[in-house]
Amino acid sequence: MTDRVVLAYSGGLDTSVGIGWIAEETGAEVVAVAVDVGQGGEDLEQIRKRALACGAVEAVVADARDEFAEQYCLPALQAQALYMDRYPLVSALSRPLIVKHLVGAAKQYGATTVAHGCTGKGNDQVRFEVGIQALAPELRCIAPVRDFAWTREKAIQYAEDHDLPIETSKRSPYSIDQNVWGRAVETGFLEDIWNAPIEDVYAYTRNPAQPREPDEVVVRFENGVPVAIDGHRVTMLQAIQELNARAGAHGIGRLDMVEDRLVGIKSREVYEAPGAIALLTAHQELESVTVERDLARFRRTVSQRWTELVYDGLWFSPLKEALDSFVASSQEHVTGEVRMTLHGGRAVPTGRRSDASLYDFGLATYDAGDTFDQGLAKGFVQLWGLPSKIAASRAQRVSGVDR
């Protein structure tokens, strides 16, 4: 039986050329796998036909948008996942889902190898290969661009020589990866970190400096899951899509940052994530009134580690799975509504309400109706500061000088 290689297929030049090239170099048949995670562009049937026309023996296309939103974006929302406190894991979230479909196709079609189009400089090579090892350690991985110095110029020449049905003359000055959770842009003139992004970098957002009327939105959560916007029920995917449009219209979710890649280099990235940033803002605001203080403090520590694990390609690791359980437990009382104003590049919370709220008006108010017993505070302050007071007395005694 002829060996088979499963190729992560995007429908673009590099992976289309990769079908024939891998077949020639390895003698194996190529099964192309394309996964729709809300990146837009061509429909799946056109991508499937192109893969077959380029020489794939099978072409698998999967509409995984709801799966991505519910099983990958939602956990990131509940974990308040922001790498380096800014990046909402746009590409990092989609890779384990794609890996899952690649491994499934490899088992279905009897493949021994999985191929991807990543370079040796980026994080995605790690995310793909570590994920594949975790789900199917018997599979081998190859990366033609990284392993065999496969350049774009070689890809264009190969496509022309073999008369492949793909466009080879146009090239974006940027490297772009996108899904429903956001859009990542790099390379080109952005590699000079002094150069400011220009408007044609952006596609999900409009210029926040352009005057327009504010948009008020109310997001309802149940147990940490966004379930309604302005009173109409939504799925997780619909919540992201609607806020991508509404927050994007106000330029919300634009990020320009130099981030620390897993491979050890710094990289300048421009991100757009309007729906993600709006949902993260609303979710955090609701947590502030429904999650107990010590749980919230520890959850922030868990969130940072959870985010690092996902960024570093360890979605399927035992630690990440254990942290998933903690995050899910922390969402038990995150139910209620948050009102936000979308305007001028910001999603600003202006109201919050919840039947599970820990906010007690009687304890918080300084006006009539105050139920807080201020007489309890004096003893509390004395006991709270007692260890520091004892340590200060010791320092004076031992050193003979005041601190």
Residue 130: its H or E element: helix 124-135
With a CB cutoff of 8 Å and minimum separation 6, the contacts of 287 are: 80, 296, 334
The answer to the question of whether 337 is labelled as a binding residue is no
Question: Does 10 show up as a binding residue in the annotation?
Answer: yes
Is 203 within any annotated ligand binding site? no
Does 14 show up as a binding residue in the annotation?
yes
Q: What does each C-alpha distance from 150 to 23, 146, 153, 262, 392 come to in angstroms? A: 15, 7, 8, 22, 66
Our answer to whether residue 14 is catalytic in this structure is yes
290 a known binding residue? no
Annotated binding residue 15: yes
Q: Does 13 show up as a binding residue in the annotation?
A: yes
Give exposure, 212-246, as e/b (b: 16+ Cβ within 10 Å): eeeeebbbbbeebbbeebeeeebebbebbbbbbeb
Q: What letter would DSSP give residue 112?
A: S
Whether 349 and 285 have beta carbons less than 8 Å apart is answered as yes
The answer on whether 271 is annotated among ligand-binding residues is yes
Look up 124 and say whether it is catalytic. yes
117 is in an annotated binding site: yes
Provide the CA 72 distance to its chain's centre, in angstroms.
Answer: 8
The yes-or-no answer on residue 171 being catalytic is no
Catalytic residue among 95, 183, 246, 299: 95
The one catalytic residue in 124, 303, 352, 354 is: 124
* 41 has binding-site annotation: no
Written as six digits, the tokens of 206 are 């409009």
User: Which residue intervals of 263-374 are DSSP H helices?
Assistant: 274-290, 293-311, 318-330, 361-364
Is 172 known to be catalytic? no
List 146, 175, 215, 256, catalytic entry: 175
Q: Do the annotations mark residue 267 as ligand-binding?
A: no
Binding positions for L-citrulline are 87, 123, 127, 175, 259, 271
Active site residues: 14, 95, 124, 175
Annotated binding site for L-aspartate: 119, 123-124
Binding-site entries: 8-16, 87, 117, 119, 123-124, 127, 175, 259, 271
